[in-house]
Amino acid sequence: MKNVHSLLTLLLLLLLVDAGFSREIKSKFACWNAKGSCWPLTCPWPLAKRIGECIWPVLRCCLSTLRS
């Protein structure tokens, strides 16, 4: 039971962290139009930053920080 509680707490933290993204991106199509890609729960570090949502709360829209 303690493991389930810990897992739920970790999942909640993953959903709430990484603020500062654009709320304008709310779908996978808007993400692709912004040159982003969709990733489960969080963006892979250090190659990308979160710029919105693809399907909240499952997929994040991530933009490569290496792009110019």
Q: Which domains does the chain have, with CATH numbers?
A: 2-64 (3.10.360.10)
Burial group, residue 25, by CB count within 10 angstroms (0-12, 13-18, 19+)? buried
For residue 56, the model assigns a pLDDT of: 85
For residue 39, the model assigns a pLDDT of: 94
Q: Cα(40)–Cα(62) distance, rounded to whole angstroms?
A: 10
Question: Per the confidence metrics, is the pTM higher than 0.85?
Answer: no
> Per residue of the chain (68 residues), what is the pLDDT tens digit?
778 677 666 555 555 555 555 568 999 999 999 999 999 988 988 788 899 999 988 999 999 877 54
Structure token digits, residue 64: 């490569």
Q: What is the dihedral of CA 40, 61, 48, 12, to 10 degrees?
A: -50
Of 65, 28, 33, the residue nearest 46 (C-alpha)? 65
For residue 22, the model assigns a pLDDT of: 58
Q: Which residues are CB-neighbours of 64 under 8 A, at least 6 positions away?
A: 37, 47, 48
